[in-house]
């Protein structure tokens, strides 16, 4: 049990150092969930845990908006970090509560064993390797990895960690030159449409690279601590250390359609949303999933526009790809793939800028550069694809 104690203590210390007084947000959620596990029947624990965690998280999101938009006060970076970490705690807590409700895991079989079985749970929630940046792994995977550390340690990850850190440096090098290029474009501003679309695409790519670097650093931290090695996985040694990964730059950016990009982007969160929302709703599961994602992210104006645009373009992509792709020649498919990749890049750029800017400034940028027309064209093409299928 020393490893569990070390992991949870490390997470607690990291939270206090980085968030100060706002670390109590995390400790409150953890304590409340532990009490639920001990006191609530596991057949309905997910409903209680879900409502408790989302209401607690939403309160702090709305408080930030109140300070920003109504009081016009600067918000502490520690509070932003605490709320961002609280979102990751919501993933882990609801994941465990679903496991318990679906009887995939058993906790606290008796009062005598309560402390022994709750320590791994607290360690999973406050794990210092995933506290600030994820990725999300299941509780069962966490226990397996922890027991693996105790019994048979995985191979040394130093080589893999070094290579992944080199990838981070490369990504940051690309981001640095993209920012330099953007400053050059702004200095020599040209009002042309293509000029505006190119600069906005570069800005969207800069914002996405920040996520890729963040995920890769989190992956390195987990690998260095011995997490993320799957001995049964196929592939080379490097691939075996990718058990906890939120996305790879080259694979994700090479997506040729919105549905493919959606599955690859922030992969562990996408799997969590699929299990938590998409698979549990028979009516409008796609829009329910993106609607919940909007709630989980904080309910800013840019989030409303970004996530519902995302849902609409994924839905349109399903219809367009299913109805047009089988009816075109191999040569046309190559052209279709290239055009669709460009289209995916433009639509993703619109979504990222709307979500990241959060307010009207991002929407104004999209309207001035005309790049915001790409999602609209995708949505309009959906009925056209249906008509094409009926005619031909």
92 and 196 in a single domain? The answer is: no
Angle formed by the axes of helices 373-391 and 301-324, nearest 10° = 30
CB count in 10 Å sphere of residue 336: 17
pLDDT band at 216 (very low <50, low <70, confident <90, very high): very high
Q: What is the mean pLDDT of residues 299-326?
A: 86
CA 80, CA 89: separation in Å to the nearest integer? 14
Stretch 63-76: mean pLDDT, rounded? Answer: 91
Cα 108 to its chain centre, rounded Å, is: 31
Across 110-122, average pLDDT = 66
**pLDDT at position 387 over 70:** no
Average pLDDT over the chain, rounded to an integer: 85
Looking at the structure, tell me whether residues 206 and 143 fall in a common domain. Answer: no
- Residue 386 is assigned to a structural domain of this protein: no
Helices (H), the chain: 2-19, 24-39, 45-65, 77-101, 114-125, 139-151, 158-187, 193-224, 237-240, 249-253, 258-264, 267-276, 285-297, 301-324, 330-357, 360-368, 373-391
Q: Does residue 115 sit in the same domain as residue 161?
A: no
Task: Kindly report whether the peptide bond that precedes residue 323 is cis, defined as omega within 30 degrees of 0.
Answer: no
Structural domain count of the chain: 2
0.85 exceeded by pTM = yes
Please give the average per-residue pLDDT across 145-149, as a whole number.
71
Query: Is residue 149 scored above 70 in pLDDT?
Result: no
CA angle 88, 89, 94 (to 5 degrees): 105
Active-site hit among 127, 222, 223, 266: 266
Q: What percent of the chain has pLDDT over 90?
A: 49
The answer to whether residues 247 and 341 belong to one domain is yes
The per-residue pLDDT for 392 is 46
Least confident of 31-45, 52-66, 308-322: 308-322
Average pLDDT rounded to a whole number, residues 334-359:
91
Residues 306-323 have a mean pLDDT of 85
User: Do residues 133 and 214 make contact, with C-beta atoms less than 8 angstroms apart?
Assistant: yes
> What is the per-residue pLDDT for 48?
94
Give yes or no for residue 169 having a pLDDT over 90.
Answer: yes
Is 230 in the same domain as 109? no
- Better pLDDT: 184 or 94: 94
Range of the domain at 174: 157-381
On whether residue 38 sits in a domain, the answer given is yes
Residue 111 above 80 pLDDT?
Answer: no
Q: With bands split at pLDDT 50, 70 and 90, how would you rate the model's confidence at 82?
A: very high
pLDDT at 332: 79
Please identify, among 151, 182, 202, the residue that sits at the C-terminal boundary of a domain: 151
Residue 388 lies in a domain: no
End position of a domain, from candidates 122, 151, 180: 151
- Say whether pLDDT at 199 is over 90: no
What is the DSSP track for 75-86? PPHHHHHHHHHH
Same domain, 140 and 181: no
pLDDT tens by residue, 14-25 = 999 999 999 999
CA pair distance 272, 250, nearest whole angstrom: 23
User: What does the alpha-carbon distance between residue 288 and residue 329 come to, in Å, rounded to a whole number?
Assistant: 36
Q: Per-residue pLDDT for 227 more than 70?
A: yes
- What are the angstrom distances between the C-alpha of 302 and each of 289, 315, 350? 17, 20, 10
Over 50: is that where the pLDDT of 93 sits?
A: yes
Per the annotation, the verdict on 222 as an active-site residue is: no
Same domain, 280 and 304: yes
Give the lowest-confidence range in 66-70, 103-107, 266-270: 103-107
CA distance 243 to 226: 11
Residue 212's pLDDT band (boundaries 50, 70, 90)?
very high
Is 187 an active-site residue? no
Q: pLDDT tier at 147 (50, 70, 90 boundaries)?
A: confident
Evaluate whether residue 185 is within a structural domain: yes
Please indicate, yes or no, if residue 28 is contained in any of the structural domains.
yes
Which pLDDT score, from 0 to 100, does residue 98 have?
A: 92
**pLDDT on residue 190:** 61
Give the SS3 label for residue 265: coil
**pLDDT at residue 112, as a whole number:** 44
Q: Is the pLDDT of residue 228 over 80?
A: no
Say yes or no: 143 and 170 in one domain: no
pLDDT at position 105: 60
Query: Is residue 91 assigned to a domain?
Result: yes
Mean pLDDT of 177-197: 76
Average pLDDT over residues 223-250: 74
Q: Are residues 240 and 258 in the same domain?
A: yes
Say what the pLDDT of residue 389 is.
Answer: 47
End position of a domain, from candidates 151, 171, 206: 151
Calpha distance 357→67 (Å, rounded): 17
Residues 194 and 113 occupy one common structural domain: no
Domain match, 211 and 62 both: no
Catalytic residue among 214, 281, 297, 319: 297
| 392 occurs within a structural domain | no
Q: Is residue 282 part of a domain?
A: yes
**Shared domain check, 178 and 41:** no
């Amino acid at each position: 049990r020393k490893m569990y104690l070390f992991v949870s203590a490390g997470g607690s210390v990291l939270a206090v150092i980085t968030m100060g007084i706002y670390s109590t947000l995390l400790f409150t959620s953890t304590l409340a969930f532990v009490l639920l596990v001990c006191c609530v029947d596991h057949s309905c624990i997910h409903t209680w845990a879900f409502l408790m965690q989302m209401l607690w998280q939403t309160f702090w999101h709305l408080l930030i908006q109140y300070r920003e938009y109504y009081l016009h006060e600067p918000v502490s970076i520690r509070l932003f970090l605490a709320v961002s970490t609280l979102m990751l705690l919501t993933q882990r807590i609801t994941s465990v509560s679903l496991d318990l409700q679906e009887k995939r895991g058993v906790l606290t079989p008796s009062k005598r064993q309560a402390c022994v079985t709750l320590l791994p749970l607290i360690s999973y929630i406050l794990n210092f390797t995933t506290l600030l940046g994820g990725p999300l792994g299941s509780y069962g995977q966490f226990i397996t990895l922890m027991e693996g550390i105790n019994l048979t340690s995985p191979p040394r990850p130093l080589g893999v960690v070094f290579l992944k850190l080199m990838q981070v440096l490369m990504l940051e090098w690309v981001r640095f030159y993209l920012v330099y290029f953007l400053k050059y474009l702004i200095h020599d501003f040209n009002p042309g449409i293509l000029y505006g679309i190119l600069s906005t695409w570069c800005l969207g790519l800069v914002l996405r690279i920040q996520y890729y670097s963040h995920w890769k650093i989190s992956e390195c931290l987990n690998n260095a601590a011995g997490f993320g090695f799957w001995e049964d996985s196929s592939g080379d040694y490097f691939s075996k250390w990718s058990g906890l990964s939120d996305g790879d730059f080259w694979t994700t950016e090479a997506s040729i359609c919105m549905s493919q990009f959606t599955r690859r982007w922030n992969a562990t969160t996408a799997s969590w949303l699929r299990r938590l929302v998409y698979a549990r709703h028979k009516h409008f599961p796609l829009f329910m999933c993106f609607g919940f994602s909007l709630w989980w992210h904080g309910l800013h104006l840019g989030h409303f526009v970004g996530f519902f645009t995302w849902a609409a373009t994924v839905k349109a992509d399903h219809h367009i790809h299913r109805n047009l792709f089988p009816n075109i020649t191999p040569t046309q498919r190559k052209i279709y793939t290239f055009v669709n990749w460009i289209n995916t890049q433009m639509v993703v750029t619109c979504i990222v800028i709307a979500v990241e800017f959060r307010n009207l400034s991002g929407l104004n940028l999209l309207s001035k550069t005309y790049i915001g027309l790409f999602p609209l064209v995708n949505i309009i093409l959906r009925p056209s694809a249906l008509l094409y299928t009926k005619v031909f």
